Amino acid sequence: MGVDPDIHWLAGTSTPHGISDGHVELEFDGRRFGFTPHYELKPTVPWLEDLKVRSLTWPPPLVIAPELSSRLLTECKRLEIAAIDLNGRCWLRAQGFLVERLALPGRSFTYELEPRNIFVGKSARIVRCLLTDRDRIWTQAEVVPRTQASSGLVSRIVHHLISQGFVEKLTPRTFRLRDWHALLNEWTESDRFSKRTRTTLYAGFLGGPEFLADRLQRWADEEHVPLAFTQWIAAWTRHPHTEPAVCSAYVSRPPEAATLERLGLRQVTEGGKLWLHVPDDEGVLSETQNRKGLRLVTDAQIYLDLQRTGLRGPDAAWALREWGGFCRP
């Protein structure tokens, strides 16, 4: 807390407000602001909300933690609770005073039991599963077989989602999404499509994306190749907005040369009518939906895959998200 030369912290000082040894003061530009520190190894959103209710008197609370996630920092801002972590990240708010600082270079303090990234591997399967139905009440026993994750991992990730305010516990065994918007936003911020897939592009002359999707679906069914359409063709199938210029899908393996010749396709280095993505984790191929004769990835996955793309991909993603059937079976 003492790394900022413009901000000075004083502990156990005495002021007209009667600050005790359990309080601290921040001195900036000749002015002093009092806080009541609250030390927490792993602050959660429910804990922050309870702290807000319990801290209605002066001086206001100051949360001090090893690490503040982006989610927790957002909630601190919403609740107007000052917070600082051991990495130098802070959000300090008092009357006539506001300071927001990013983490300092080289600092990497964490709570050792906190998942580092819930949006990769089998952890992502759990998030993807819950987002298949934003209204559903779940049990851990339902999530385990759908994700093929261990019960221990499911329990750990669900408890993390509860602590971050994304999920709420209803009974000792049941839970549901509390803030699917925020969960999807955080997944979007974390996701890097090119790092989790290997994409091959194809060109051909056998009609538009919808015709090609039908041919590709038949090939996958005939040869028992796991396949699920995504991006433009999937968004158009779920909720038409931007007509698909490209047909794209996840596959466990690309078509062989004989199949490409039969479909009238050839591999290209750019452009192309068909984009096939081989994922690092095939969990994306196990959580699918059947719509209008096509097998699609989940709505949340479609939205995610359309980010940072051209061909009006973000527009199609936003239209899908705003649709009332989004993330609903």
Domains of the chain: 8-101 (no CATH), 121-190 (1.10.10.10), 193-322 (no CATH)
Confidence of residue 55 (pLDDT cuts 50, 70, 90): confident
pLDDT of residue 5: 64
State what percent of residues in the chain have pLDDT above 70.
Answer: 93
Out of 20-34, 136-150, 236-250, 267-281, which region has the weakest mean confidence (pLDDT)? Answer: 20-34
Q: What's the rounded Cα separation, in Å, for the pair 117 and 29? A: 39
Calpha distance 307→259 (Å, rounded):
30
Give the Cα separation of 219 and 135 in Å (integer): 35
Task: Indicate the pTM of the whole model.
Answer: 0.81
Model confidence at 310: pLDDT above 80? yes
* DSSP 8-class letter at 119: T
Q: How confident is the model at residue 2 (pLDDT cuts 50, 70, 90)?
A: very low
Q: Give the β-pairing of 61-65 and 174-177.
A: unpaired
User: What does the pLDDT read at residue 225?
Assistant: 96
Query: What's the pLDDT score for residue 110?
Result: 72
Minimum mean pLDDT among 36-45, 163-172, 291-300: which range? Answer: 36-45
In this model, does residue 17 exceed pLDDT 50? no
